[in-house]
Amino acid sequence: AVAGGGALAGCNLITPEQAGRLLRSDLPLPERFTTPLRIPPVATPVAPGRYLMAQREAELEIVPGTRTRVWGYDGVFPGPTFDVRRGEPIAVEVRNELPAPTSTHLHGGVTPAESDGYPTDLIVATAHADAFTPGAHSHMAVAADQWRLHDGGREYEYPLDQPAAGLWYHDHRMDFTAPQVWRGLAGMFLIRDEEEDRLGLPSGERELPMMICDRAFDADGDFKYPAVDDSLLAEPGVTGDFHQGVEGDVALVNGTPWPVVSVDTGTYRLRLVNASNARRYRLERDDGGDFVQIGSDQGLLARPQRLKTLTMSPGERFDVLVDFGGHRVGDRVVLRNLLGTGEMAELLRFDVDRGGGTGYTVPDRLADPVEISAEDSVAEREFAFALTNHSHGQMWTINGRPFDPADSLASPELNTVERWTFTSDFHHPVHLHLAHFRVLTRNGKPPVPEDAGWKDTVDLRPYEFVEVAVRFTGHRGRYMMHCHNLEHEDMAMMANFDVV
Ligand code: C2O
Ligand code: CU
């Protein structure tokens, strides 16, 4: 497992669960709380409702004084933030100039199946088309007719017929999602609507997108990943003990290592996304202040809730307000991570540099989300997320079956609600494409605060069972559920369902 010393002095604090999956940087770790938080550029349409985005390699200065080669949407990491409105559909033409195929998924989007970013529905850069043979690089059994290749680029359609919410988009290539997201293929996607406008929430400089992830760096300054073949065109998967998921030793927020944010004594709105491959975080303010949660994965909560800590599994989003009204100029507030050890126990620092901020009084009633309950359910299904033995070794599976694009585990009907139970042997953030759900129970007990509101990802913890009411709306077709630990996902923990 992980050898001690260096940046990980005190690594006896590492839990057994972490041992063997923490990847250590070969660079000296960057200094904390010196680099200002970067805000990703906002995507601008090329024509009304039309966007163009090219995936390409670029060199960025992530660690001050060091160049890092990333794979980025428009060459940036995180990719451009989409800032769009409900009821105003958009089309995004995505081009691929990378030496590996890609598929772009809008996580949380109610999207037609053709635009869902299915793992075998790939864009191959024209210049690299000859280098890629579908199936030759997969460790899953995929029939030849399951692959679809687009030459150079393709268009994705997003109807945006869904409430205001903080979504994100990322790569979803079969077998290689984890290394390709690790290299930088992820961005934020904010949908707004009138219900949200009416609240007059903190905006502009007071609304901070925060894509949180961890990375490790190699001696050249590039992202380090335990892949067998760095070209990503040969063997899939990861080497060594990383089948539990890869974690790095550098905390990035919007691609900034341990950033500092200059704030005044007002209220800020944080649009949090856990974009890590495998790492969970438990956030806490070191000043004892609250997070006032106003939104979940799928938009505004009916009522705000005050939290002292906030646990985020990979894929989950939280929309929270933080208030610095009780502070004096010169105060510093560290955002801690109670699940991290060493440097990873802290993520970011707010420096209160100016007085006279604008406070915000949170209304008791935020929104009127659709309400459903267990009684609305027309069918019940159970899905077991577990490591099982297969001919080519152990695999992460759902109901004992490794992913097969030709297989389907359920056929729910459009415009119905079903009760699904997820069981687990480990931490598995369970994510559904298309369909959103409410958490009903955890181990037969009431849900935890982080389960509040409409969700598309739920933090399934070891040996737990979580019951959810899922609503199937919007589109018929083939969609999927999977574990959002990206290494588990690449190691077969995905399954189709067909909305009929
Ligand atoms: Cu964010 Cu299918 O994933
Ligand atoms: Cu998992």
The rounded Å distance from CA 487 to ligand 2 centre is: 8
Q: So what's the pLDDT on residue 294?
A: 98
Fill in the amino acid letter for 9: A
Q: What is the pLDDT of residues 217-226, one digit of tens each?
A: 999 999 998 8
- Over residues 150-174, the mean pLDDT reads 97
- Over residues 156-182, the mean pLDDT reads 96
DSSP secondary structure of 221-237: SSBP--BS-TTSSS--S
The answer to whether residue 157 scores a pLDDT higher than 90 is yes
105 lines ligand 1 (CB under 6 A): yes
The answer to whether residue 5 scores a pLDDT higher than 70 is no
- Over residues 13-22, the mean pLDDT reads 48
The rounded Å distance from CA 39 to ligand 1 centre is: 23
Rg (CA), the chain: 21
The answer to whether residue 15 scores a pLDDT higher than 80 is no
* The token pair that represents 447 in the structure block: 């849900």
**Phi first, then psi: what are they for 259, rounded to 5°?**
-75, 165
- Identify residues whose C-beta is under 5 A from ligand 2, the ion: 428, 483, 485, 488
* The token pair that represents 389 in the structure block: 């033995």
Closest-approaching ligand to the CA atom of 107: 1
Q: What is the pLDDT of residues 337-351, one digit of tens each?
A: 999 999 999 999 999
Closest-approaching ligand to the CA atom of 275: 1
The answer to whether residue 16 scores a pLDDT higher than 90 is no
> Which atom in ligand 1 lies closest to the alpha carbon of residue 494?
2
The rounded Å distance from CA 336 to ligand 2 centre is: 25
* The token pair that represents 282 in the structure block: 């438990």
107 lines ligand 1 (CB under 6 A): yes
- Give the pairing of strands 291-296 and 299-307: antiparallel
173 lines ligand 1 (CB under 6 A): no
Closest-approaching ligand to the CA atom of 424: 2
Distance CA 407, CA 416 (A): 22
170 lines ligand 1 (CB under 6 A): yes
Q: How many CA atoms lie within 13 A of 312 on its CB side?
A: 30
Distance CA 225, CA 335 (A): 26
Higher pLDDT among residues 266 and 175, named by residue: 266
Q: What is the pLDDT of residues 361-375, one digit of tens each?
A: 999 999 999 999 889
Closest-approaching ligand to the CA atom of 385: 2
State the DSSP code for 102: B
Helix (H) or strand (E) holding 181: helix 177-182
Domains of the chain and any CATH numbers: 6-16+28-193 (2.60.40.420), 204-354 (2.60.40.420), 374-499 (2.60.40.420)
Q: So what's the pLDDT on residue 313?
A: 97
Q: Place 233 in a pLDDT band, splitting at 50, 70 and 90.
A: very low
433 lines ligand 1 (CB under 6 A): yes
- Over residues 406-413, the mean pLDDT reads 97
% pLDDT > 70, the chain: 92
Helix, coil or strand: residue 484: coil
In 135-206 the beta strands, taken as DSSP E runs, fall at 148-151, 153-158, 165-171, 186-192
In the block, residue with structure tokens 């801690």: 336
Higher pLDDT among residues 82 and 232, named by residue: 82
> Which atom in ligand 1 lies closest to the alpha carbon of residue 315?
1
Q: Place 231 in a pLDDT band, splitting at 50, 70 and 90.
A: very low
The rounded Å distance from CA 484 to ligand 1 centre is: 6
Q: Which of 18-32, 257-271, 446-460 has the lowest mean pLDDT?
A: 18-32
- Over residues 451-468, the mean pLDDT reads 96
Residues listed for the chain: 500
Q: Which of 88-97, 131-140, 246-255, 436-445 has the lowest mean pLDDT?
A: 131-140
Closest-approaching ligand to the CA atom of 397: 2
The answer to whether residue 244 scores a pLDDT higher than 90 is no
The answer to whether residue 115 scores a pLDDT higher than 50 is yes
- Over residues 225-242, the mean pLDDT reads 55
> Which atom in ligand 1 lies closest to the alpha carbon of residue 457?
1
Q: Place 22 in a pLDDT band, splitting at 50, 70 and 90.
A: confident
Q: How buried is 143 (Cβ within 10 angstroms: 0-12 exposed, 13-18 middle, 19+ buried)?
A: exposed
Q: What is the pLDDT of residues 277-306, one digit of tens each?
A: 999 999 999 999 999 999 999 999 999 999
Q: So what's the pLDDT on residue 131?
A: 79
DSSP secondary structure of 408-451: -S--PPTT-EEEEEEEESS-EEEEESS-EEEEEEETTBPPPGGG
- Over residues 36-51, the mean pLDDT reads 98
Number of neighbours of residue 155 by Cβ within 10 angstroms: 14
- Answer for the pair 311, 276: CB distance below 8 angstroms, yes or no: no
In the block, residue with structure tokens 């100016």: 354
Distance CA 187, CA 55 (A): 12
Distance CA 62, CA 320 (A): 26
Among 280, 285, 257, CA closest to 270: 285
In the block, residue with structure tokens 């119905």: 416
Helix (H) or strand (E) holding 437: strand 436-442
* The token pair that represents 299 in the structure block: 């938009």
In the block, residue with structure tokens 């940046």: 7
- Answer for the pair 293, 452: CB distance below 8 angstroms, yes or no: yes
Q: So what's the pLDDT on residue 392?
A: 67
Distance CA 328, CA 101 (A): 51
The rounded Å distance from CA 6 to ligand 2 centre is: 29
The answer to whether residue 12 scores a pLDDT higher than 90 is no
Nearest CA to ligand 1 atom 1: 107
Higher pLDDT among residues 135 and 376, named by residue: 376
The rounded Å distance from CA 137 to ligand 2 centre is: 22
- Give the pairing of strands 68-73 and 79-85: unpaired
Q: Place 97 in a pLDDT band, splitting at 50, 70 and 90.
A: very high
Q: So what's the pLDDT on residue 230?
A: 45
Q: Place 139 in a pLDDT band, splitting at 50, 70 and 90.
A: low
Helix, coil or strand: residue 74: coil
DSSP secondary structure of 446-500: PPPGGG-SSBSEEEEPTT-EEEEEEE--S--EEEEEEESSHHHHHTT-EEEEEE-
pTM more than 0.80: yes
Q: So what's the pLDDT on residue 241?
A: 61
Distance CA 319, CA 305 (A): 11
315 lines ligand 1 (CB under 6 A): yes
Among 406, 425, 404, CA closest to 494: 404
Distance CA 320, CA 290 (A): 9
Q: Place 385 in a pLDDT band, splitting at 50, 70 and 90.
A: very high
Among 455, 459, 452, 78, CA closest to 291: 452
Fill in the amino acid letter for 105: H
> Which atom in ligand 1 lies closest to the alpha carbon of residue 168?
1
* C-alpha distance from residue 204 to each of 35, 200, 220 (Å): 21, 11, 37
% pLDDT > 90, the chain: 83
- Answer for the pair 87, 277: CB distance below 8 angstroms, yes or no: no
* The token pair that represents 487 in the structure block: 């290494």
User: ipTM beyond 0.95?
Assistant: yes
**Phi first, then psi: what are they for 145, rounded to 5°?**
-75, 0
Rounded to the nearest integer, the mean pLDDT of the chain is: 91
Q: Place 238 in a pLDDT band, splitting at 50, 70 and 90.
A: low
Q: Place 119 in a pLDDT band, splitting at 50, 70 and 90.
A: very high
Q: So what's the pLDDT on residue 108?
A: 98
The rounded Å distance from CA 327 to ligand 2 centre is: 40
Distance CA 413, CA 379 (A): 10
- Answer for the pair 100, 59: CB distance below 8 angstroms, yes or no: no
Distance CA 280, CA 247 (A): 10
The rounded Å distance from CA 375 to ligand 2 centre is: 29
**Phi first, then psi: what are they for 207, rounded to 5°?**
-115, 115
